[in-house]
Amino acid sequence: MSVRNFLQFHFSSHRKMRQSIKNIFGFYPGNIFLYKQAFRHKSASLEHKSGLRINNERLEYLGDAVLSLVVADYLFKRFPFESEGFLTDMRSKIVSRASLNKLSEKLGLKSFMHFSNTDVRQMKSAGGDAFEAFIGALYLDRGYRFTKKIIFKRILDIHFDLDQLEHAEISYKSKMIEWAQKTKTNLDFKVIEEQTIQHRKQFKVGVFVQNKLLAEALDYTIKGAENLAAEKAWKILAETE
């Protein structure tokens, strides 16, 4: 490929992604390279000369935290008289891997994603991961207030029916128990730590498979921490199948 053709391809690719993000989310991105990284799966990592592998895992980590905070804020304001347990359950339903995978598919994010040729069919949770990485990129690019606005107006208000979601049942703990019974695997949920932050107690729960810690999560209730940890464990199991 000539330099001219390379530059044309490079910048036309940028324009296409910028316009697609505008069409889906209602804004033009600033730093397009953040968004490109958000859609680069670890199977297609680029290697920096420092040895650092460039993919969307760090952005996914950041986006997960930002999304959880924004959803908590949204639910707190939408349901001013509901209990902490209700809010925790609703948040879990919205940010669950299955929910984010469906959302990613609905938004058409798969067309932006980069995989290796060999691993693409194994990446069952790649869509949800990419959406979280996108939120991480958005946060770095435009800040928290703008990110919150986009999630409220372009995601939660449009793509989630909270009345329907309120009555939907989702329990990753039950899924894990069913899997353990089916595969005759030893499974246990244990509170491994209690923390008090600003006079509020939080519980860290671990999911142990064959007496080995598979995943852990922190929440204000044991039930909430169990389900969050179970979701993480379920995701790990799905990726290893």
**Whole-number pLDDT of residue 234:** 86
Whether the per-residue pLDDT at 230 is higher than 80: the answer is: yes
* Domain contains 5: no
My answer on whether 102 and 206 are in the same domain is no
Mean pLDDT (the chain, rounded): 85
| 26: region left, alpha or beta (phi > 0 left; psi from -120 to 50 alpha) | left
**Whole-number pLDDT of residue 118:** 52
* Domain contains 116: yes
Whether the per-residue pLDDT at 48 is higher than 80: the answer is: no
My answer on whether 128 and 206 are in the same domain is no
Give the total number of structural domains in the chain. Answer: 2
For the chain, the first-to-last Cα distance in angstroms comes to 39
Query: How far apart, in whole angstroms, are the C-alpha atoms of residue 212 and residue 188?
Result: 9
Last residue in a domain, options 166, 189, 204: 166
What sign has the CA pseudo-torsion 157, 163, 168, 172?
Answer: positive
Find the CATH number of the domain harbouring 196: 3.30.160.20
My answer on whether 54 and 150 are in the same domain is yes
My answer on whether 25 and 107 are in the same domain is yes
* Domain contains 95: yes
* Residue of 19 and 120 predicted with greater confidence: 19
Find the CATH number of the domain harbouring 53: 1.10.1520.10
My answer on whether 68 and 176 are in the same domain is no
**Whole-number pLDDT of residue 51:** 66
Ranges 70-84, 106-120, 181-195, 215-229, most confident? 70-84
Q: Residue 181: which pLDDT band, with cuts at 50, 70 and 90? A: confident
Q: In 28-161, which ranges are E strands? A: 46-47, 53-54
Nearest to 225, CA basis, from 179, 177, 197, 190 = 190
To the question of pTM greater than 0.75 for the whole model, the response is no
* Residue of 10 and 30 predicted with greater confidence: 30
My answer on whether 142 and 196 are in the same domain is no
My answer on whether 151 and 198 are in the same domain is no
* Domain contains 6: no
My answer on whether 204 and 162 are in the same domain is no
Q: What is the CA radius of gyration of the chain?
A: 19
Whether the per-residue pLDDT at 211 is higher than 60: the answer is: yes
Nearest to 42, CA basis, from 141, 118, 100, 137 = 118
* Domain contains 29: yes
My answer on whether 162 and 176 are in the same domain is no
Q: Which domain holds residue 75?
A: 13-166
My answer on whether 231 and 162 are in the same domain is no
Residues 6+ apart with CB under 8 A from 97: 125, 128, 231, 234, 235, 238
* Domain contains 1: no
My answer on whether 47 and 87 are in the same domain is yes
Contact 95, 172 (CB under 8 A): no
Query: How far apart, in whole angstroms, are the C-alpha atoms of residue 146 and residue 125?
Result: 26
Model confidence pLDDT, tens digit, residues 92-118: 889 887 788 899 999 999 888 887 765
Of 60, 89, 132, 231, which residue is the catalytic one? 132
Query: How far apart, in whole angstroms, are the C-alpha atoms of residue 175 and residue 193?
Result: 24
My answer on whether 18 and 95 are in the same domain is yes
Q: Is 132 considered catalytic here?
A: yes
**Which element (helix H / strand E) includes 6?**
helix 3-25
**Whole-number pLDDT of residue 71:** 96
DSSP 58: H
Of 64, 89, 141, 226, which residue is the catalytic one? 64
